[in-house]
């Protein structure tokens, strides 16, 4: 779905939800999961197929944290900013990740290598501070260890 000239994937997902307008968010989540971001063309397609105004689709896409309107890098870094991680030093870990990658939360670097996001709690509080990269959880990351963790991703 690089350029989304063909809507097969989008259509398949919509069909899997029987094209119901009440499944709008679920459909968008599925597309996000598959494509890692929501291209404008996909939003327009959803709007047309479900007969839902495009403004509502846009509203949802910008309201919820799970959605991205820009392409994502090869590796997605989620720094947990939950309370348990916070009291164990997550802000300093985030600072370090920002320094090392040169990007802020919500951004993707120029080489499309890393995308950085913060999340409010991954529920692995016993291991805090936690960063999750491509679904793999790295626990007890100190500022000093962050660099080693990031280096292992090419």
Partner 1 sequence: MPRLSTVEELTEFRQELVATREANRPCVAICAGAGCLASGASEVIAAFKAELAAQGLEAEIDTRGTGCPGFCERGPVVVLHPEGICYLQVKPDDVPEIVAQSLKGSKVVERLLYADPATGERAIHESDIPFYQHQERTLLSSNILIDSRSIDDYLAIGGYTALVKALFEMGPEAVLEEVKQSTLRGRGGAGFPAGRKWEGSRNAPDTPRYVLVNADEGDPGAFMDRALLEGNPHAVLEGLMIGGFTIGAQEGYIYVRQEYPLAVKNVLHAITQAEAYGLLGQDILGSGFDFTIKVHKGAGAFVCGESTALMTALEGRVGEPRPKYVRSNIKGLWGKPTVLNNVETWANVPHIVNRGADWFTRTGTEHSKGTKIFSLVGKIRNTGLVEVPMGMPLQDIIYDIGGGIPGGKKFKAVQTGGPSGGCLPEEMLHLEVGFDELTAAGSMMGSGGMIVMDEDNCMVDVARYFINFLTEESCGKCLPCREGLRQMHRILTRICEGNGRAGDIDTLEELSEVLTEASLCGLGQSAANPFISTLRYFRAEYEAHIEQKRCPALACKGLISYWIDPEKCKACLICMKRCPSQGIEGGKKQIHVIDQEKCDRCGVCFEVCPEKFSAVVKLSGEPVPESLPMAERTLVRGSGK
- What letter does residue 22 receive in the DSSP assignment? G
DSSP H/E element including 54? helix 54-63
Q: Which stretch binds partner 1 (CB under 8 A): 1-9, 19-27, 39-47, 108-116?
A: 19-27
Residue closer to partner 1, measured from CB, 6 or 104: 104
DSSP H/E element including 4? none
- Mark 20-59 with x for binding to partner 1 (rule: CB under 8 A) and - for no binding: xxxxxxx-xx--------------------------x--x
Give 149's contacts (C-beta < 8 A, 6+ positions apart).
Answer: 131, 133, 138, 141
Residue closer to partner 1, measured from CB, 3 or 91: 91
User: Which of 67, 75, 109, 149 touches partner 1 by CB under 8 A?
Assistant: 67
The span from the CA of 69 to the CA of 57, in Å, is 12
Q: Are 111 and 75 in contact (CB under 8 A)?
A: no
Number of residues located near partner 1, criterion CB under 8 A: 47
Which residues form the interface with partner 1 (CB under 8 A)?
20-26, 28-29, 56, 59-60, 63-67, 81-89, 91-92, 95-96, 99, 119-128, 130, 137, 139, 142-144
């Amino acid at each position: 779905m690089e350029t989304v000239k063909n809507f097969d994937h989008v259509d398949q997902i919509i069909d899997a939800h029987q094209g119901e307008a009440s499944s709008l968010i679920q459909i968008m989540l599925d597309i996000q999961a598959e494509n890692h971001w929501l291209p404008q063309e996909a939003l327009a397609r959803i709007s047309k197929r479900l007969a839902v105004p495009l403004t509502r689709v846009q509203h949802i896409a910008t309201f919820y944290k799970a959605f991205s309107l820009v392409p994502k890098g090869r590796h997605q870094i989620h720094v947990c900013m939950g309370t348990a991680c916070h009291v164990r030093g997550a802000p300093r870990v985030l600072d370090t990740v920002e320094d090392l990658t040169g990007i802020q939360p919500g951004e993707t670097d120029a080489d499309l290598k890393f995308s950085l996001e913060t999340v409010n709690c991954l529920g692995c509080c016993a291991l805090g501070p936690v960063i999750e990269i491509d679904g793999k959880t790295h626990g007890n990351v100190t500022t000093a260890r962050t660099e080693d963790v990031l280096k292992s991703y090419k």
